Structure 1
Amino acid sequence: MTTLRTPGPTIGVVGGGQLGRMLAEAAAPLGIEVVVLDPTPDCPAALVARDQIVAEFDDEAGIRELAARADVLTFEIELADQDVMERVSEETGTPVHPKPSTLETIHDKIVQKRELEAAGVPVPPFRGVEDADDVRAAIDDYGAPVMLKARTGGYDGRGNVPVESKADAADALESVAGPAMVESFVDFEREVSVIAVKGAAERSSANREDTPRDDDETATFPIGENVHEDEILRETIVPARSSETVTDRAHAVARDVLEVMEGRGVYGIELFETREGEILLNEIAPRPHNSGHWTIEGAASSQFEQHARAVLGWPLGSTKLRSPTVMTNLLGDVDEEREAELGDIDRILETPGANLHWYGKRQARPLRKLGHVTLSAGDEDASVEDLLERARDLERSVTFRTDE
């Protein structure tokens, strides 16, 4: 096995939002430096990363500069351009993980669903739609309501529109604005997710150090239960209140998903648990995911540390649950855009097992993710229901700036 040393290599990250910030925080103790590329000067990751390149996510010159300063490229936002990243990687020799081909698959939801369905991953019935008549035909076949989704560009619920009746088809399609698909509405018991990691295989000492490692070491974190409102994640509860059979099935589906994905890294795999106890795939994010933020305090190693290890081909860490944990998002509780400032954080700071994460965004907008709070049981004998109620109380205790 290769002897690893620290200070170590540099990871170049396309995107410098909160995910890039937390990735840099996790990489630093391992001696790994992070350089981010983001169009917003002094982006959230800039405070903790080694440096920031100010450029658009698809700026080829900027990505070339990033590649020249990094040992491996990765991304924390799907707006990264897969064609540019693949071209820069081929010409500079700097690898990209996950692979640009995976990003290409993820970019178009219908392509994503077709590839996964072909691989035997269970998905809800779906089809592409061109016009309102196609949406109405889908309602005939699937029943109302159906979920209309933008095939590209949707994020945090944007581009997802439930269509309650045929009369709503035209307006719903107009609101999506662009290529769209329809999914059968899933009458789920709960929404769950598995944070899964694809790493590099162990290598025997007989192999040369420069021999490429196979991408077949995998790991999964305990299943999380997600609470959404207005299509935006509000809370994640770990462990999920699911049966052992459902939990085992969710992990099996996540491992099947990893077989389809190309390249190393963390994948956020969102799933539906149906009322019959079946697991259906919802969507995949080829990066650390909001529903995995609980791992920073709740697991032996966080999803961000795992991503850094994985993209570099380092051995993965333990994904063992430390103790039951609840994560709640701090969303912009404002009517219009204004300076982002959080107040009344005393209760969070005073509460044993509670941890505040502020993302460093300068502007608050309605329902924008500005931070999160985790509450872990630790040695306390607390149920996840109790933790959830206490975490909600902590979230309600904070206030956003109201003065002009």
Structure 2
Amino acid sequence: MRSLRSPGPTVGVVGGGQLGRMLAEAASPLGVEVVVLDPTPECPASLVARGQIVADFDDEAAIRDLAERADVLTFEIELADQDALERVSEDTGTPVHPKPSTLETIHDKLVQKRQLEDAGIPVPPFRAVEGADDIREAIEDHGAPVMLKARTGGYDGRGNVPVESKAEAEEALEAVAGPAMVEAFVDFEREVSVIAAKGEGETATFPLGENVHREEILRETIIPARSEPEVAERAYEVATDVLEVMDGRGVYGIELFETVDGEILLNEIAPRPHNSGHWTIEGAVGSQFEQHVRAVLGWPLASADLLGPTVSTNLLGDVEEPTDARLENVERILETPGAHLHWYGKREVRPLRKMGHVTVSARGEETADVEELLETARDLRDAVTFDAA
């Protein structure tokens, strides 16, 4: 028998960006308190969390302080130090979910791909890169372009460099500036993702989402994906297999390619709530953030059922230079039925920085036209601006 008390359990989160903010928002109705660790004073999550420890993500003393204030530790950014988390967990007895071993796997994209391939999960052809000749050999084997990826530290497309010819190999390797791997370019019909949760002896998957990227940054997510039912079913099978490889409870963002032949290939995994799952706040019975809180605490998972077709679109910085964050013309969003504005509270806007998102949901309307929802979401996004000029 479970019971609630006041104050309730505390989740310590390494990272205090928008994901930490939305975790704290989802935790509050459950009676769960959140404390975040982030190097930015008054980070986005600090405005809704119980408290913030201002420190770097790899500050072991600060992580220990966080563990002593929490019943469980988790993270919303892969820059968390897995070795420090493991040592602190062993010393304090505060569990970490997902496990630091999973974070270690995710940190290095080459290690991640090798482990997943060994588990029988379909991935694009890849190889380690020791020098430019490895890139040229990949082009020789798979044709151009190929995708050169930084093995560590890359996110939102950073660290990914398309290589169009053998002549570009040296320049691309210099641009990555560190350990790298190279993948064959996937001729995909669409990019899709499954937000999946691993709980205590149970799993749950949200409906398949279709993702639209430009400049390697997610712009829109469409639910349900415009995939054939058998393709969606295959995506769920791959996602379930991925959860078997991951160690520890929590939500995982599983990014996939749907090829022109209807095959599913794994792209990358985020061991945390994911941008492509923001739609779940309005579009699903339980959001990915509530799901993550429940999972890391070992509580029963929420329903991941769809409430109705939904589209989310990111609000990215449309400025040339960093400046104070001020979003203009928000009335259009606020006045539109079915539209929901999420503002992350970042004080500075930078070019293409994620500042918020807009969700347009047709809850209770199973036959709603996702094309119309997508058009509405794009119109609302394009009506606002950070550029006051």
1:341 deviation in Å? 1.1
Matched, 1:305 2:305: no
Q: Conserved in 1, the CA contact under 8 Å of 2:307 and 2:364? A: no
Match of 1:219 in 2: 204
1:183 deviation in Å? 0.3
1:35 deviation in Å? 0.1
Match of 1:390 in 2: 376
Instruction: Give the distance between the partners of 1:56 and 1:144, measured in 2 at CA.
Output: 40
Instruction: Give the distance between the partners of 1:272 and 1:383, measured in 2 at CA.
Output: 24
TM-score normalised according to structure 1 size: 0.95
Q: Conserved in 2, the CA contact under 8 Å of 1:323 and 1:377? A: yes
1:399 deviation in Å? 1.6
Matched, 1:238 2:237: no
Secondary structure at the residue paired with 2:56? coil
| Aligned-partner residue type, residue 9 of structure 1 | P
1:130 deviation in Å? 1.0
The unaligned stretches of length 5 or more in structure 2 are none
TM-score normalised according to structure 2 size: 0.98
1:371 deviation in Å? 0.2
Match of 2:166 in 1: 166
Instruction: Give the distance between the partners of 2:265 and 2:323, measured in 1 at CA.
Output: 39
Instruction: Give the distance between the partners of 1:340 and 1:95, measured in 2 at CA.
Output: 37
| Residue-by-residue CA offset, 1:216-269 (whole Å, 9 max, x unaligned) | x10000000000000000000000000100000000000000000000000000
Q: Conserved in 2, the CA contact under 8 Å of 1:191 and 1:227? A: yes
Instruction: Give the distance between the partners of 1:385 and 1:171, measured in 2 at CA.
Output: 40
1:402 deviation in Å? 2.5
Instruction: Give the distance between the partners of 2:3 and 2:122, measured in 1 at CA.
Output: 39
Instruction: Give the distance between the partners of 1:295 and 1:200, measured in 2 at CA.
Output: 21
| Aligned-partner residue type, residue 392 of structure 1 | R
Matched, 1:34 2:34: yes
Q: Write the mapping of 1:3-402 to structure 2, written as runs, cut at 5 A.
A: 3-7=2-6, 8-201=8-201, 217-380=202-365, 381-402=367-388
Q: Conserved in 1, the CA contact under 8 Å of 2:139 and 2:145? A: yes
Q: Percent identity?
A: 78
Secondary structure at the residue paired with 1:352? coil
| Aligned-partner residue type, residue 4 of structure 2 | R
| Residue-by-residue CA offset, 1:340-367 (whole Å, 9 max, x unaligned) | 1111100110111000000000110000
Instruction: Give the distance between the partners of 1:367 and 1:6, measured in 2 at CA.
Output: 43
Query: Alpha carbons of 1:306 and 1:379: their partners in 2 closer, same or farther (altered >3 Å)?
Result: closer
1:306 deviation in Å? 0.2
1:377 deviation in Å? 1.3
Match of 1:211 in 2: none
1:6 deviation in Å? 4.0
Instruction: Give the distance between the partners of 1:399 and 1:6, measured in 2 at CA.
Output: 44
Instruction: Give the distance between the partners of 2:170 and 2:274, measured in 1 at CA.
Output: 33
| Residue-by-residue CA offset, 1:281-311 (whole Å, 9 max, x unaligned) | 0000000000000000000000000000000
Instruction: Give the distance between the partners of 1:387 and 1:361, measured in 2 at CA.
Output: 27
Following TM superposition, the consecutive aligned residue runs of length 4 or more in structure 1 with deviations greater than 6 angstroms are none
Secondary structure at the residue paired with 1:273? strand
Secondary structure at the residue paired with 2:91? helix
Q: Conserved in 2, the CA contact under 8 Å of 1:236 and 1:291? A: yes
1:165 deviation in Å? 0.3
Secondary structure at the residue paired with 2:194? strand
Q: Conserved in 2, the CA contact under 8 Å of 1:6 and 1:30? A: no
Instruction: Give the distance between the partners of 2:275 and 2:5, measured in 1 at CA.
Output: 29
| Aligned-partner residue type, residue 3 of structure 2 | L
Secondary structure at the residue paired with 2:36? strand
- Which stretch shifts more, 338-347 or 305-314? 338-347
Instruction: Give the distance between the partners of 1:385 and 1:6, measured in 2 at CA.
Output: 46
Q: Conserved in 2, the CA contact under 8 Å of 1:339 and 1:401? A: no
1:378 deviation in Å? 2.5
Secondary structure at the residue paired with 2:16? coil
1:382 deviation in Å? 2.7
| Residue-by-residue CA offset, 1:363-386 (whole Å, 9 max, x unaligned) | 100000000000001345531111
1:142 deviation in Å? 1.1
What is the alpha-carbon root mean square deviation over aligned residues? 0.8
